[in-house]
Amino acid sequence: MGPALVDLRRILLGRRLTSGEGEQAKVGNVVGLAVFSSDALSSVAYATQEIMASLATALPASAGAAAVAVAIHPLFGLSGPVALAIVALLWILGVSYRQTILAYPMGGGAYTVAKENLGEGAALVAGASLLVDYVLTVATSVSSGVAAITAAFPPLHGHNVALTLSAIAFVAMANLRGIRESGTLFAIPTYGFIALMLALLATGFLKWFLGGGGAPVAGLPSAPSAPGAFGPLHGFVLVWIFMRAFSAGCTALTGVEAISNGVQAFRDPPERNASRTLTWMLLLLGVLFLGITLLARHFGVVYAHSPDPSVVGETLLSKLARAVYGDISHGPPRLVYFLTQAFTFAILVVAANTAYADFPRLAALMGRDGYLPKQFAFQGDRLVFSNGILILTLIAGLLAWVLHANTDLLLPLYALGVFTGFTISQAGMVRHWYLARKAQPAWKPKAAVNGVGALASGIVMVDIILARFIHGAWIVAVLIPALVVLFRGIRRHYRRVEASLAASRSEPASPTRHHALVLVSNVHHGVIQALQYGRLIAGDRVEAIVVDPGGDANHEGPGMAALRSDWAIYGMGLPLRRIPSPFRKIVEPILAEVDRFRIGEPGVCLTVILPELVTRRWWQQFLHNHMALRVRTALADRPGVIVTSVRVHLPT
């Protein structure tokens, strides 16, 4: 690597860190909330919108777009109960994960918990779910953030893909620098978003309280007083609509597990700090999600999927802010609206960062266990797992590009992986308490808490598969088992390699004699160096061979006479053997000669020495033929043959 490139690396990534500096890269609770909770908190930017979109598809065809536009169809009233059910689920999961953190202070991701308590199969399913999910977190969050920006700035409309890819690249760069700097860099967006959301809720509920903004929405669907409002929708159909809206809203819960995966990143004592941060996060998430959903219902703000998937429409949060703040064409409302959009973008970018903290960590864990390439476990000179960061960037960018950076298309893929991970993790915790029942007499209440968590997540998982299968969940449902097969294949490969490389397998009867063949085309400086090297490593057991293109067994080809006269002067007295090649091939006769030698002297180690010309400029290589490379490649699979290039550097 050239010095200029090194300088660029240092400017972009910061100075190198020794392994001992690892401790410094830990975070306090305030920064930790920003780093690990942004995924969960930022979900409110799309979860309510996704519930509304799900309900909109259930509208009778006659209601159509017009009804959506005026936002008064009573079906949207279902958003309230759906949101309440989700907050209840959030509470269950929160309590469950609090137990996980305390039980696994070293970081209790679903993969770790499953591996310890449920065995390899469940661990791999959890690992696959999480990896898929981190990729989706990046693609979805950044796409959603960019949608907030394009909603506020019409000139950017239609450039969602380019903006999304740029933002992903930015986050990747920040993470290649290392986590502590990332934390500091991203704390402001998270807290800014929280403040602006609380301001929105406060303004909205104040207006509601003062009697403003209400849209003529019908009562809750369960209210028997207004059954007619739903027209022909009854019984099972209503349950189905509710299930779909509920599974759509579960995207609000993505990221709840992030803290339990990253306990190790917290300052001492990590489990205490992580647990406290989790509580704050759940509280904030519940308030924001419920508040936004209720306000949207009250202010008649709804959302439906854009008919053209490559066009991203205005986000629900942007519509809600406009509805709450009123005229945003000037004055303070204008400023607050734009700040809301900007910080929505910012926290969603930070949310993507959560995945950048966790994906490489999990990939490294699985790499160390041999389920992923070991390269994922290497820490770069900034103490980050660079390979994981790069591959996450690549796949997430590809996904955002293919799906037009459109959350309408991305979100249906999202929650399934999350809840698969939740379910396995909580089931693992149940077994964890059972296994520890001797040491911990009061294990039953703890197991019960996690059991309820597992049951709830499992039901949601089934709900998501049922309700969103055809909309994209099938992709994840296919991908996770495929990944599990891949993990097992990788592991099997590593095991076989390990077995075959065992030091004890080496034959004690190693070759004791050594012979060198020097390849000669004509006599030049490089050939003489190769002959000298042959002398050094093989003493008097050196032989030169020359391929004679055009010659045959009886006649020497053109050029041989000149070569022989040069050899008499510079050949160091070594034997020169001519290999005729009537068909003018070069590589094949050498291969044949090597094979003859191996058959003739099986116990002797053979080194083939190739003089190789190295040009100073890249284009000059086209002026020389790469015989050394071709011979090396051709001889690659001959056991017991070592190919060595003696490189001669050419002048400019």
Q: Which of residues 627-646 bind a second copy (CB under 8 A)?
A: 636-637, 639, 642-646
Q: Which stretch binds a second copy (CB under 8 A): 173-181, 305-313, 398-406, 508-516?
A: 508-516
Residue 495 within binding range of a second copy, rule CB under 8 A: no
* Distances from the Cα of 68 to the Cα of 208, 218, 237, 433, angstroms: 22, 14, 20, 49
Residues in CB range of 521: below 8 A, 6 or more apart? 527, 546, 547, 627
The two tokens of residue 624 are: 């020389």
Residue among 503, 553, 573, 602 that touches a second copy (CB under 8 A): 503
The answer to whether 573 and 612 have CB atoms below 8 angstroms apart is no
DSSP for 531-551 reads: HHHHHHHHTT-EEEEEEEET-
Residue among 448, 497, 562, 629 that touches a second copy (CB under 8 A): 497
Closest CA to 111 of 428, 487, 479: 428
Residue 576 within binding range of a second copy, rule CB under 8 A: no
Sign for the pseudo-dihedral over CA of 326, 331, 335, 341: positive
Residue 625 within binding range of a second copy, rule CB under 8 A: yes
d(CA 530, CA 620): 22
- In the bound complex, what is the minimum distance in angstroms from residue 25's beta carbon to a second copy? 14
Residue 583 within binding range of a second copy, rule CB under 8 A: yes
- In the bound complex, what is the minimum distance in angstroms from residue 501's beta carbon to a second copy? 4
Residue 368 within binding range of a second copy, rule CB under 8 A: no
Residue 327 Cα to chain centre, angstroms: 41
- Using the minimum distance from each CB to a second copy, give the nearer residue, 295 or 538: 538
Residue 215 within binding range of a second copy, rule CB under 8 A: no
The binding track of 12-51 with respect to a second copy, each residue x by CB under 8 A or -, is ----xxxxx-------------------------------
- In the bound complex, what is the minimum distance in angstroms from residue 623's beta carbon to a second copy? 5
Q: How many CB atoms lie within 10 A of CB 288?
A: 25
Interactions with a second copy, residue window 224-263 (CB under 8 A): none
- In the bound complex, what is the minimum distance in angstroms from residue 589's beta carbon to a second copy? 12
- In the bound complex, what is the minimum distance in angstroms from residue 34's beta carbon to a second copy? 28
Q: Which stretch binds a second copy (CB under 8 A): 94-102, 329-337, 413-421, 490-498?
A: 490-498
Residue 624 within binding range of a second copy, rule CB under 8 A: yes
Interactions with a second copy, residue window 518-557 (CB under 8 A): 523-529, 532-533, 536-538, 549-550, 552, 557
d(CA 522, CA 567): 9
- In the bound complex, what is the minimum distance in angstroms from residue 379's beta carbon to a second copy? 6
Q: What are phi and psi of 625, to 5 degrees?
A: -90, 150
B/e letters for 318-348, b = 16+ CB within 10 Å, e = fewer, are bbbbbbbbeebeeeebeebbebbbbbbbbbb
Closest CA to 289 of 521, 468, 41, 71: 41
Interactions with a second copy, residue window 468-487 (CB under 8 A): none
The binding track of 588-617 with respect to a second copy, each residue x by CB under 8 A or -, is -----------------x-x-----xx---
Residue 510 within binding range of a second copy, rule CB under 8 A: yes
Q: Which stretch binds a second copy (CB under 8 A): 115-123, 298-306, 344-352, 578-586?
A: 578-586
Residue among 109, 291, 380, 453 that touches a second copy (CB under 8 A): 380
- In the bound complex, what is the minimum distance in angstroms from residue 617's beta carbon to a second copy? 9
Residues in the chain: 652
The answer to whether 404 and 162 have CB atoms below 8 angstroms apart is no
Strand, helix or coil for residue 615: coil
